[in-house]
Each structure stands twice: as C-alpha cells, then as structure tokens.
Amino acid sequence: MSEKRKNFLDLAQWSRQNLDEVLALATELKADPGKFSQSLAGKSLAMIFKKSSTRTRVSFEVGMFQLGGQAIFMSSAHTQVGRGEPLEDTARVLSRYVNGIMIRTYEHAEVEILARYATVPVINGLTDFLHPCQVLTDIFTIKERLGELPAGLKVAYIGDGNNMANSWINAALQFGLDLKIAVPSGYEPDAILLERTRQQARPGGKVTVGDDPLAAARAAQVLNTDVWASMGQEEEAEFRRQAFAGFQINDALLEAAAPEALVLHCLPAHRGEEITAEVFERFQDLIFTQAENRLHVQKALLVTLLAD
C-alpha cells in the first residue's frame, strides 16, 4: 500500500488512494481466488460477535481459510467478553494470541477501545454507528457493474439514518459521490457526522438529507436501502413500520431514477417493507453479487492489514 494502515474502523480514516488499492486487490482476488492463497498461512483472526450474523461471519471465516489462515469465532455468550471482562483486557490478551481482531457489536466505542489497546489490526465488522466493510463492498459492486466509478455518481439512500446511511456519507466524501438521503423526520443520520461533513467537505463529494424519497431518487444512478428496524430495535418494529411508510424502493422510485439505475440492498431484506418483492427479485442477481463481494473485499482488507 502507499500508506500502511493499522486498523479498518471507518472509511473516513483511510485515504482515497488506500481505498482504491483495496478495491483493486479485491478485483484481483475475485478473478483469481487462489491468489495469495498462502499469504496468511499460520495467522489467525479472532472474530468477536455481540450481534449475530450470516454474511459477516461466513465471509470472514471463508476469507481467512482461502488465504491460508484461520478464523476463531468468539460469541459473547460463550466467552469472558459476555461476562464483563473489560475490552481493554480482551484486546491485550487476544493480541498475544492472534494476528488480527474483527468485532461485530452495538456500540462503536467498543471498536475504538479494542483498537486503542490491541497491538494487532482491528477491523470494524459492524457497529450501530458504522458498517464500513459493507459500504466499501457496495462501492466495489457498483464499480464492477459499471466498469468504473464515475465522479459525481448520483446515489440515493432511502430509509433509516442508521449505520449504513452514516457509512454512505463517508463514502460520498471519499469517492466524490452525489448522495441524497431520504429519511423520515427524527430518523436522520448522525448529527455530529453531518456537521463534520459540512466542515470537511471535499471536492466532488456532496451529501443532501431530506424527507422526500421521490426527490432523492430523481435521476439517481444507484438506489439503496436497509431494513427499517435493525438488530436491537425489534421492540420498535411496529412503530417503525408506521413511521417509515412510503420510504420504500418500488416502481415509482425506479421510474423517477435514471434509466438502467442499479438497486442495492445489504441484506437481510424485508420484502414489502423497505423494498417491494417485485423490485427485489428484479435486481436479485445484483443484490446477491453484492453479498458475495463481501468475501472478496474483506479478503483484500485481510491481506492489506495482516500479510507481511
């Protein structure tokens, strides 16, 4: 890499050049899955899960295996992490055993604590604040489908101002996107992040937040969304269904979007809520390619962070 990075916690902490290098490596790894097959031989990745997972767990486990290393699954229900051992101590203990740590959890502060006290690279597999592995994968998927990532690409995000929306804001600034976010009033993305965005605006990157899905979708080249109630918000699900009514990717939004617009979904999908079943099935090949690409992008991150 042009600049060696220790951790992957947030897209905003990496330069555009570093991110482009990861995307280029992911392209190589997807084209030749055997490439770097022994680059992590003898190395281990500890994977801490406070949130359950399908894609994050399987893609990281398979990725480590294909690179010659091993992944160690650590559920908070079956380790001292779940019994109150401080993350500071967990970070220092694991650093004596493994070559890297991935965590999927609720509070973003926990990722930052791990990174502060660990002496090995830490990867943010997801927090309630950010989901950088997913959005970097989404950028990879768009670039793969379009053949390039056009400057000023018009992207619409429809739904909840959650970790995905926050990560798309960072991606818009890093990759020079024209991002329009449509959320119900009271569900906006993180206010501190939006203020930082205003203060640190970069050439080409533009972020607009509103409450009109049709306006956000107009001329958009990419439409994307996420579930209305994320993990940990199950008790709010019914209330959120009412609050988010109308914030759905459907035929009306597609008609307003640019011709040949792409539709992305980070999964799992609740058909009939954030996206109609018809639109989901129309774009299912792209959506499941997007899911597959988690493997290739995360392998590129693992090689970048852990290989000698």
Say yes or no: 121 and 205 in one domain.
no
Say yes or no: 123 and 223 in one domain.
no
For residue 5, tell me if it sits in a domain: no
Is pLDDT of 4 > 70? no
Contacts of 294 (CB under 8 A, 6+ apart): 55, 56, 59, 133, 134, 137
Is pLDDT of 74 > 70? yes
Which domain does 111 fall in, by range? 11-131+293-306
Say yes or no: 240 and 283 in one domain.
yes
Say yes or no: 181 and 299 in one domain.
no
Is pLDDT of 53 > 60? yes
Is pLDDT of 83 > 90? no
| Catalytic residue numbers, as ranges | 104, 131, 134, 226, 266, 294
Domain count of the fold of the chain: 2
Say yes or no: 286 and 299 in one domain.
no
Mean pLDDT computed over 61-67: 98
pLDDT in tens, 158-167: 999 999 999 9
pLDDT in tens, 269-297: 999 999 999 999 999 999 999 999 999 99
Nearest to 53 by CA among 273, 287, 267: 267
For residue 278, tell me if it sits in a domain: yes
Distance in angstroms (rounded) separating the CA atoms of residues 284 and 144: 16
CATH of the domain at 254: 3.40.50.1370
Q: Tell which wins on pLDDT, 272 or 52.
A: 272
Say yes or no: 25 and 40 in one domain.
yes
For residue 258, tell me if it sits in a domain: yes
Is pLDDT of 90 > 70? yes
pLDDT in tens, 122-134: 999 999 999 999 9
Other CB atoms closer than 10 Å to residue 271's CB: what's the count?
A: 13
For residue 38, tell me if it sits in a domain: yes
Point out the least confidently predicted range of 87-96, 113-122, 201-210, 271-280.
201-210
